[in-house]
Structure formats: C-alpha cells, structure tokens
Amino acid sequence: MGTIDGIRKLGFRKWYERQLIEGHVWLVTMVLALVLTAVGYEALSVREGMLDLAYDLTAVAVGVALSWVSFRRYASAMTVAEHVGAQAVCPSCGRYGFKALPASEAGPAGRPLQLLAACRGCGHRWPIDPGT
C-alpha cells in the first residue's frame, strides 16, 4: 500500500503511528542482524573444519545483508513519516493532523498523485506531497 492509499484508508494519525512502529521494528531487526554478524565473525575459525567455516561465513554474510536491508527500510519509513508529518499542520489555524479527502476531490486525473488534506478544526484545505 502506498503512502496516499495508506493515509486515505487509515487516516493520518493511524498511518503515521504505523509508519513509526514499522520503522522501529526495522531498527530492532537491524540491531539483531548486527548481533548475528558479530557472533558469526567471532565464531570464524579454520581449526574446526571447512564446513564450520562455511556456516560461520554464511552467518556473517546473512547478518550484513539483513542489516543493510533493515537500515534502508528503517530510513525509508522514517523519512516518509517525517516528510508527511511536517506538512500535517494546518496553514490556517495551526492544528496538527488532517482528514484526507477522497480521490475524486483531489483534482483532475491528469495531475500527479497528491493528497488533499482538510483541517478538522477550521475546514481549510491544502495539498500534501507524499514524497514517494
């Protein structure tokens, strides 16, 4: 589900909360993968045979790859949440959060996808750039 669809389906506040939770789950995954990398590196030894060395090298490689993927996903989730969250303040009254308007109210189909937000307090409408 894309950013716009997610906000329309869940609402801004729930979508934002889920983005933060998902991002931090990826951060925890990265830390655990770094532990796997360290354990695999610590266990590297030729003395115990080539098969054991292959297992240890595999653990290191999997840990490094998983750490990299997890970091990228964490950074992506947090960047999108920060980008949309920074636009969530009503320019008219300063209230945080918004109601996403249906796609039919967001403008002509020929324009790039954007999200039209409406303030729950004063009703002011403004576009949100999802950044994706």
pLDDT score of 49: 86
**φ, ψ for residue 99, nearest 5 deg:** -105, 125
The Cα-based distances of 43 to 2, 16, 27 in angstroms read 42, 41, 25
| Containing structural domain, residue 12 | 3-128
- Tell me how many domains the chain contains: 1
Confidence class for position 102, pLDDT limits 50, 70, 90: confident
Q: Is the pLDDT of residue 27 over 80?
A: yes
DSSP strands (E only) in the chain: 99-100, 115-118, 125-128
Q: Is the pLDDT of residue 16 over 90?
A: yes
Confidence class for position 48, pLDDT limits 50, 70, 90: confident
The more confidently predicted of residues 114 and 8 is 8
Quote the percentage of the chain above a pLDDT of 70: 90
